[in-house]
Amino acid sequence: MFDFIKKKIKDSINVIQKKIVGEEKAEEAVKEKETNKPQKSVETHKATEHHNVAQKAVVVEKKKEKRHIISHKITESDIDEIYLGIKSALAENNVALSVLDDIHKDLKTELMGKEISVLNTRSEIEYAIKKSIESVLLSYPEEKFLSEVRSKKPYVLLLVGVNGSGKTTTLAKLANLLKKNGMNITVSASDTFRAASIEQLAIHCKNLGIDLVKHNYGADPAAVAFDAIKHAKNVNSDVVLIDTAGRSDINKNLIEELKKVKRVSKPDKTIFIGDALAGNDAVNQARIFDSEIGIDASILSKADVDKKGGAVLSIAHTTKKPVLFLGTGQGYDDLINFDIEKTAKFIMG
């Protein structure tokens, strides 16, 4: 993930660095030409070899010192140039426009008018971009998530998203994680819409050794969730995970169905499951699910096959809700906590 963004950011920093360093070098050359003229004639008069070596060493030292001192005041046009370079890289990789605007603003706040040493140009610009990327992301440490789940019994998690986004697979991964942390789990087969959805879920539950509450196809998904919560209370389950159906587009039926499931199950967390490969479509879906149903967090699946990474950057920013985990494969352990600092560091190489 992020490979392309990483390369483009590097390239655009190189361009601006060359520009800034180039300007300063040109100025330095002019200044040196002027100050060196009389000095040279004095030097030729005092011509012992020993003295020349010492003199050269002093000049080298002075030059080094000068390179440290020479600085460049970042102008608005520098920032626009830096931003234009990274903007195309981010936009091509599914980063939403609102995120780009914020990054532009952040760069202005961080860099405008700042005197930066020529030697530090690269690191200063990198730092500003990293800080901005960190500020547009919201993450949620795994420990915080686990302790929230432990705080109530049964803790109800509702998973929503369009069809094929990875809801059922992610549910199985979450069940695996929670089980590994000592919790008992009941699953609600509230996708009564898609053919074979109940069998798919039943296989996961059997593999993981957890309870599944199911009705027939076509049954009311909210009624299944209601029964699952009742079952969880009876058998003393710590968590109820509710799987739901998707549709190829977010139609009225789906929204009404999910609203009812939410009303009946009163989940402690409603999690939007987005397909990282869907890019900006996933960002728009997250926005709609949030406004229609209300979400508390997101999980992005298929991060292992997403080379771009823009959806990950945009979803948290657009919904103002944290990204809890990234799905990184089809196995039960392929779920990683989304860490802002690591991600921003990784993007900056």
Ligand X SMILES: Nc1nc2c(ncn2[C@@H]2O[C@H](COP(=O)(O)OP(=O)(O)OP(=O)(O)O)[C@@H](O)[C@H]2O)c(=O)[nH]1
The entry of Mg ion, ligand X, none that residue 231 binds, CB within 5 to 8 Å by partner kind: none
By the rule CB under 6 A, 166 interacts with ligand X = yes
Q: How far is the CB of 274 from ligand X (least distance, A)?
A: 10
DSSP for 85-133? HHHHHHHHTT--HHHHHHHHHHHHHHHTT-EEEGGGHHHHHHHHHHHHH
Residue nearest to ligand X (CB): 327
DSSP for 176-226? HHHHHTT--EEEEEE--SSTTHHHHHHHHHHHHT-EEE---TTS-HHHHHH
By the rule CB under 5 A, 176 interacts with Mg ion = no
Closest CA to 193 of 237, 104, 257, 112: 257
The entry of ligand X, Mg ion, none that residue 192 binds, CB within 5 to 8 Å by partner kind: none
Nearer to ligand X, 72 or 302 (CB): 302
Q: Which 3 state secondary structure label does DSSP give 166?
A: coil
Q: How far is the CB of 249 from ligand X (least distance, A)?
A: 12
Question: E strands within 201-322?
Answer: 211-213, 239-244, 269-275, 297-301
By the rule CB under 6 A, 246 interacts with ligand X = yes
Residue in the block written with tokens 């195309």 = 88
Closest CA to 205 of 187, 224, 228, 231: 187
Nearer to ligand X, 83 or 272 (CB): 272
By the rule CB under 6 A, 204 interacts with ligand X = no
By the rule CB under 6 A, 169 interacts with ligand X = yes
Q: How far is the CB of 163 from ligand X (least distance, A)?
A: 4
By the rule CB under 6 A, 329 interacts with ligand X = yes
Residue 283 vs residues 100, 155, 226, 316: alpha-carbon distances, Å: 14, 27, 30, 9
Q: Which of 94, 188, 265, 328 binds ligand X (CB under 6 A)?
A: 328
Dist CA 251 CA 163 (whole Å): 12
Question: For the chain, how many residues are written?
Answer: 349
Lay out the site mask for ligand X across 146-165 (x = CB under 6 A, - = otherwise).
---------------x-xxx
Nearer to ligand X, 147 or 330 (CB): 330
Dist CA 183 CA 232 (whole Å): 12
Q: How far is the CB of 233 from ligand X (least distance, A)?
A: 26
CB burial of residue 219 (10 Å; 0-12, 13-18, 19+): middle
Q: Which of 12, 121, 168, 301 binds Mg ion (CB under 5 A)?
A: 168
Q: Segment near ligand X (CB under 6 A), from 42-50, 234-242, 249-257, 297-305?
A: 297-305
Q: Which of 12, 168, 190, 318 binds ligand X (CB under 6 A)?
A: 168
Nearer to ligand X, 200 or 280 (CB): 200
Report the 10 Å Cβ neighbour count for 163: 15
The entry of ligand X, Mg ion, none that residue 298 binds, CB within 5 to 8 Å by partner kind: none
Contact set with Mg ion (CB under 5 A): 167-168
Contact set with ligand X (CB under 6 A): 161, 163-169, 191, 194, 197, 245-246, 301-302, 304-305, 327-330, 334
